[in-house]
Amino acid sequence: MKSVRLFVLSLVVIVIGTTAMFPAVVVAKPIHLTYSIFFPPTHGQCLAGMEWAREIERLTDGKVKITVFPGGTLTKANQCYDGVVKGISDIGMSCFAYTRGRFPVMEALDLPLGYPSGLAATRTANAFYETFKPAELDDVKVLYLHAHGPGLLHTRKPVSTLADLQNMKIRSTGLSAKVVEALGAVPVAMPQGDTYESLQKGVVEGTFGPIEVLKGWRQAEVVKYTTDCNGVGYTTAMFVVMNKAKWNQLSPEVRDIFEATSRKWIDVHGKRWDQGDQEGRTYATSLGNEILQMDNDETLRWKEKVRPIIDAYISGADAKNLDGRKTVQMLTGAIDGLK
């Protein structure tokens, strides 16, 4: 009996010694994140966002897995930013303009400054944020921004002059509502997701947006004309932001991957916007829609009408101790440098 006890005791010592020499390997569980995108799943910008998520997963060797919820299924477009702050989603993509008044500094990006392309608007948006780092975004981690090409007018009946546009009901959002009003039309606020049905039913007679909406949101099916008013081309700046607590939980190595991938994806989105604009133009003309060009005199009249919006932003920013003139000068300089 004594020999049996000695044998068992020897086995225990051997097992303990072996465990000490070869400790158990602890396999870290993947980090699971949710990503809310308001664009429909087939839209080029949603696809770019999903590609970004897959690239993060690839570069982290599966340590990070991101589940994308497109089409506003997790949080609606105007709730996306708050959803990230509150942790309803870990990451979110939507428009600053959908929560008008909350981002007074970032609103400058949407001014009708004559953006020439989506790539120029996207690069300008990111340069603007890096320059000013407004405190209004301190409650999230900003991964990157992007912005569409020049917002144009798409209508059910032809609009070639300011006189044609008077009192028409035009869908708009954020600062573009002020553009609509300055041009003599009636702004009707709504997100892109509601625009198709509203145009179809005649709730609105037209919409302001990049020409990519004619295919990306199928709006060419419910309008017949596009007025190429790029001289007052505005943009709508969009954010890709992350819940700050979740960001702080990531290791430095993983954070570096997020940062590097996000920098790369700035141009991915910008180029995708320009591709979408070309596809929207081609799709619209294939349905028999007309693209109406304005002459120089008419373009100047439209620019004169919207100039008070820019001046009002400058004076309003100054009243809030923001340097409105410096802000606008930075933007116009960046836009001119990218033309």
Question: Which run of H or of E encompasses 143?
Answer: strand 140-147
Per-residue pLDDT reduced to its tens digit, 32-48: 999 999 999 999 999 99
Q: Is the Cβ–Cβ distance between 245 and 87 less than 8 Å?
A: yes
pLDDT for 19 equals 45
Put residue 313 in one of left, alpha, beta given phi > 0 → left and psi -120 to 50 → alpha. alpha
pLDDT for 23 equals 47
pTM for the full predicted model: 0.85
Binned at pLDDT 50, 70 and 90, residue 152 comes out as very high
Which carries the bigger pLDDT value, residue 98 or residue 126?
126
**Per-residue b/e over 54-85, b at no fewer than 16 CB within 10 Å?**
ebbbebbeebbebebbbbbebbbbbbbbebbb
Nearest to 207 by CA among 172, 249, 237: 172
pLDDT for 44 equals 94
Per-residue pLDDT reduced to its tens digit, 215-227: 999 999 999 999 9
Per-residue pLDDT reduced to its tens digit, 250-284: 999 999 999 999 999 999 999 999 999 999 999 99
Beta strand 206-209 with 290-293 is unpaired
pLDDT for 174 equals 82
pLDDT for 331 equals 94
Per-residue pLDDT reduced to its tens digit, 154-180: 999 999 999 999 999 999 988 899 999
Q: Which domains does the chain have, with CATH numbers?
A: 31-96+132-146+237-279 (3.40.190.170), 152-234+286-337 (3.40.190.170)
CA triple 185-189-194, angle to 5 deg? 120
Binned at pLDDT 50, 70 and 90, residue 24 comes out as very low
Backbone angles phi, psi at 336, to 5 degrees: -60, -35
pLDDT for 21 equals 47
pLDDT for 26 equals 44
Which carries the bigger pLDDT value, residue 56 or residue 20?
56
Tokens of 145: 């921004």
Helical H runs in the chain? 2-21, 44-59, 80-86, 118-132, 162-165, 176-182, 195-201, 213-216, 244-249, 252-286, 296-319, 324-338
